[in-house]
Structure 1
């Protein structure tokens, strides 16, 4: 039963209706055979496993069947998977050992990922602080020029997403990411010498081209060390860094913008120079802080590596037992044009791309314009930068909470939709509240509540990785999803226009419409994946145990196109 007979989700002619089944053990590439009883829960791989007491990943070990272990051993060898030497189907470990290892990973891997994201956000987010120091007036520009600069940055960022992922997959994220950070920090430093609209737009484009692809590159690197259940909360730490960075740079901006006049420079020039140097330090350090994989932590400047032999065994096998396909490519293997095309046309991922396109639009204009809005209602340059801090503190809290709730409930769609339900009444208030320009504290309160929204990006990024199902697809889908997010940002950065200020009634009306559409997309995505899983379950249930076993062993269907794959939702 190959691709022709089952990839379109139709049973073979000899398929017979049989009782529902429950997993009895692995029979194929990370999947399981069945005997009478219920099918696995929706949104899960049939092979997904949990830590099962003192023996670690053993009871539901997808490699417990020798045929399955041999299949994947051969796959890893053929792919020259860098961790194949540590693959051990019979390895066991205790939950305590695994928790200790994960803590070490958090300190070495997750922490430095957050530091690199800090470097990204410093240079990506300091423009709105610079404009609070009359940068636009100094350069003879207006808010439409500011919008154009943001738009060109996002278009360049978008165009670089996929090429950056392809370069990263070929060179390895451990090489490419430090190169990216170092290069964009040099451009960021050069911003201190921009003298007009032309040089402003040029640096915006260069920053976008170099920074594009950084986020999916980091997600790919993190996926080498963490299981599918661990990744969302680590990504929530990742995006928590965004808000922490904004808090830190707001305080830093308060000091740096007071340097206006020193050496004849404006405060915003000192801001770009000093924050660019900070990012350069992070970029250079990253060359020494990013191992290519768990088995490649030993080097001339780190002769003992990160792990003991036992920790290394656990680090590799726990990730493979969670998702055996993580070893079907090595970390210096390029994505072929055929893989790229198959990933791009995978319509089952399109609902997540639609979420990326519109879900984050309603919050972005207010975030980009917060310093300008607060200045328009009478706050000083220095007060404005301090007033942005509370929203970022609350944003951290709601981000971590929503990510935890998603994990506790094993629910992605409805939990993520809370973001837009939160935003909607705030935008209504901005559009219809008559005291917008006369009640400064009231306007500030509305803006602060809006920007404290529970950010679902970490959930959706991990969700995209989960539903992609293999390394090649995961690489492309991460880039495509982030490209759609950048398209949404392009839309968002052109909603507030100069002829609509200071109240931006037209812009806020458009944000309300987009917010309602986003809620509809979340609900449609939930329905789509639920129905896709039900159709597959119907076909699977109609097959005999022998047909299932034959399909698992011999089907050429891969990843999320397999009948025994269930989409997370």
Structure 2
């Protein structure tokens, strides 16, 4: 039987053009995911653009209430990311992701007709709930399609849409603000209404456009599906092609020290990311520029971040040294925020925003975490936990830019600086831990015992397996033959 299977696999491989198949997958998967994440980023942060057009005054809010409105978004946003990722694996991405998009599109539209502070709070909570599953879902979903050496570039391609959203959000807000007074609504209302309606339309279309996992993807032939699964299994992803859900996979994620270190990396990234995306227009506005000028001046900052993100994605897949890349990028962000803390010059502070953006957005941390986690359910849980914890820190950084600290916001910049320091330290620790574990495996210290024919298995010995395949499937990335990516 093994010979027949091997011959069949060989025949499939010989008839498939791998590069053409990857281009086909890229074309059908990446562009729409990038659009979805663009809308995710845009709808999450456009409140920062709308703020510049008298939103607080119209809703009778003070600065502290505005910060509370930002904060309430993050608690459901962080709490539901891991459950959402597990649901994505059990359900079809075309249904689950589309449901989330449609839901937050409706909620975003309602932002435009809210009339008081209480209504805004309720909508921000619901927005956090529905937006929570998209980013960790896409990160996990892409890891189910691509090899480790291909994942960074693809994540960079879809994640650049976050930088595009920042740039496009400023342009769009400046343009939509001219609708002030139409139908009796202020300009900030139209920002929410028009962007929300577009998200609803995209959510409806997603039910037909979002592709499912490789084993059931309709745009692939049967041979192509088999080939994609085979190449992933050859890349230490034995769970490619599907696995049955077991609660122990979630426990493996919780008990793995790498998960907790990854949470530190995401903390060092997401805290600064949310502060930057929510307050960049405000920072530029307070330092020297008026509302529309501030929104427009945010565009070059995000355009630069987009270019750096693409470059880092390509470099990471080529050289594979993701720890060093992380440390280098975090260090660039560190320099940017040191300048922001010390600067009292508008031009210098604006330049520092470029350094800060290039030290935050290009961090392709999902590729590193995914590459070092085997087992589809464990990987979905690890990404959900790490991203969820990182996003929870947005509740902190959304409160650090207080009106009384304007125009230089030294306290806010200092707190973000501390977050970046956590990211650097966590990246260093992760590399040390992974390198030490690879060395132990190379010395044979982690070897499993594979039972010989006729040998009775001791059920009390958790390190004894009937076959190498059983050991790989049960242990995932803890299997002695699994090599961690540094």
Give the TM-score of the pair, scaled to structure 1: 0.77
Moved more, 270-279 or 445-454: 445-454
Residue 96 of structure 1, CA deviation: 8.3
Partner of 2:385: 480
Alignment counterpart, residue 359 of structure 1, candidates 260, 263, 269: 269
Moved more, 168-177 or 407-416: 168-177
Partner of 1:344: 254
CA 1:518–1:227: 2 relative to 1, 3 Å: closer
Residue 186 of structure 1, CA deviation: 0.5
Cα distance in 2 for partners of 1:96, 1:341 equals 38
- Are 1:376 and 2:286 matched, yes or no? yes
1:153–1:208: 8 Å Cα contact kept in structure 2? yes
Deviation readout 1:99-139 (Å, 9 max, x if unpaired): 11111111111111112212312311211111111211221
Cα distance in 1 for partners of 2:275, 2:188 equals 22
Higher RCO (Cα < 8 Å, 6 or more apart): 1
1:362–1:423: 8 Å Cα contact kept in structure 2? no
CA 1:144–1:419: 2 relative to 1, 3 Å: farther
1:147-546 correspondence runs (5 A): 147-294=67-214, 296-298=216-218, 306-308=219-221, 310-327=223-240, 329=242, 335-435=245-345, 440-453=346-359, 455-458=361-364, 460-540=365-445
1:122–1:279: 8 Å Cα contact kept in structure 2? no
Residue 289 of structure 1, CA deviation: 0.8
- Are 1:561 and 2:478 matched, yes or no? yes
1:233–1:404: 8 Å Cα contact kept in structure 2? yes
> Structure 1: any 5+ residue segments left out of the alignment?
1-64, 71-86, 299-305
Cα distance in 2 for partners of 1:149, 1:110 equals 32
CA 1:194–1:524: 2 relative to 1, 3 Å: same
Alignment counterpart, residue 112 of structure 1, candidates 15, 32, 46: 32
RMSD value over aligned CA atoms? 2.9
Moved more, 104-113 or 118-127: 118-127
> Structure 2: any 5+ residue segments left out of the alignment?
453-463
Cα distance in 1 for partners of 2:216, 2:480 equals 36
Deviation readout 1:49-77 (Å, 9 max, x if unpaired): xxxxxxxxxxxxxxxx949979xxxxxxx
- 3-state DSSP of counterpart to 1:201: helix
1:398–1:454: 8 Å Cα contact kept in structure 2? no
Cα distance in 1 for partners of 2:413, 2:448 equals 53
Cα distance in 1 for partners of 2:384, 2:302 equals 26
Residue 181 of structure 1, CA deviation: 0.4
1:326–1:471: 8 Å Cα contact kept in structure 2? yes
Residue 212 of structure 1, CA deviation: 0.9
Deviation readout 1:175-197 (Å, 9 max, x if unpaired): 10001101110111111111121
Deviation readout 1:77-101 (Å, 9 max, x if unpaired): xxxxxxxxxx953235469811111
1:188–1:272: 8 Å Cα contact kept in structure 2? yes
Moved more, 316-325 or 545-554: 545-554
1:6-45 correspondence runs (5 A): none
CA 1:232–1:67: 2 relative to 1, 3 Å: farther
CA 1:202–1:484: 2 relative to 1, 3 Å: same
Partner of 2:459: none
Give the TM-score of the pair, scaled to structure 2: 0.89
Residue 199 of structure 1, CA deviation: 0.9
1:120-139 correspondence runs (5 A): 120-139=40-59
Residue 415 of structure 1, CA deviation: 0.5
Deviation readout 1:366-415 (Å, 9 max, x if unpaired): 43222112222342222111111101110011111112222221101110
Cα distance in 2 for partners of 1:297, 1:566 equals 29
1:177–1:214: 8 Å Cα contact kept in structure 2? yes
